Structure 1
Amino acid sequence: MITRRELSYPPHLQLATLALVAGRSPAELGLRRWRITDHAAVLGHGPEVFAAASERLLTWQAHAHAGVRVERHGPLARLHFGPTTSSCLIIHEERTPTRTVLVYGTLPAHVESGEEAFLVTRAPDGTVTGRVIAFSRHAWWLAKVGGPVARFVQRVVNRRYVAGMCPGNFP
């Protein structure tokens, strides 16, 4: 069984994505040398939109919308994107009446090293927002060589994840 000890980033950074969401700065979390990506968008309004967006997130439809195929076996997930397969460990899942969260950390067989959090939230006024926030470093040699291209692809994929949370979008 794979455990958190096998993650490809330091243990003290586990769940740092949620600390970023809570307002802590990258510097105070020890993330100065990590690349932070953060994208959020309004998905709609009301409990029906929240429920549908949460379902799309937790059933990997948001990932499919971004062109990422996911195989999940318990806490282990393998992400297939283009010619790459990246392994990660689900380290946090949460579902409340106003917030749905999925966080995974990278394992050594991932093109990046770091953590990514996916959130769907419903504000008191009913506004539903989708968000992806991550900290990472390139781990795969090709991502290191093609750094600017890899960062561009990551930004595009993150935007597509959020768009894929929207109930009106289908892969």
Structure 2
Amino acid sequence: MITRGRLSYPPYLQLATLKLAKGRSPAEIGLRRWTVTDHSAVLGHGEEVFAAASERLLTWRAHAHARVRAERLGNLVRLHFGPTTSSCLILREERTATRTTLVYGTLPVHVESGEEAFLIELAPDGTVTGRVIAFSRHAWWLAKLGGPVARAVQRWANRRYVAGMRP
């Protein structure tokens, strides 16, 4: 069951992923003891690629590419990956002529504690870039026990999310 609880990380860190995306350092925004992951890739060129990539992100097909099934109910989303189900609160979802943004934060029933931002940008030269940036800590006992494996899975998923944005 998805509940409308508090985020599983401190309120002062809400939307910190967007600050990281703008170039702020983890230490400067209070993320010294958090793991930060950041992956980006060129998705292609032109407005058609940007529109298609944005559609893939906002309809959860980028997540499906990483074998994550998403169930959305308003601003709440339940993510299913393997034997786990994790709940998040969507903090920002917006689309402009040159940028699409989706940010969600973890709720207490998530295997990790933290936040993840998905960005698609159309540069003036027509280059379309997809990016996933996150900060997290293990919250589930099994993730804590298998820390290095859990981090490797997270990096794998981030690469797959970005690849899944590609039309």
TM-score by length of 1: 0.95
Question: Structure 2: where are the runs of 5+ without partners?
Answer: none
- In structure 1, the partner of 2:156 is 156
Alpha-carbon shift at residue 38 of structure 1 (Å): 0.2
SS in 2 for 1:67: coil
Cα distance in structure 2, aligned partners of 1:147 and 1:72 = 28
The residue correspondences of 1:88-107 to structure 2 (distance < 5 A) are: 88-107=88-107
- In structure 2, the partner of 1:134 is 134
The residue correspondences of 1:60-139 to structure 2 (distance < 5 A) are: 60-139=60-139
What is the percent sequence identity of the aligned residues?
A: 81
Alpha-carbon shift at residue 23 of structure 1 (Å): 1.0
Cα distance in structure 2, aligned partners of 1:70 and 1:93 = 15
Among 2, 6, 18, the alignment partner of 2:4 is 2
Question: Structure 1: where are the runs of 5+ without partners?
Answer: none
Cα distance in structure 2, aligned partners of 1:149 and 1:25 = 25
- In structure 2, the partner of 1:32 is 32
TM-score by length of 2: 0.98
- In structure 1, the partner of 2:21 is 21
Alpha-carbon shift at residue 163 of structure 1 (Å): 0.1
RMSD of aligned alpha carbons: 0.8
SS in 2 for 1:102: strand
The residue correspondences of 1:41-56 to structure 2 (distance < 5 A) are: 41-56=41-56
Aligned length in residues:
165
SS in 2 for 1:160: helix
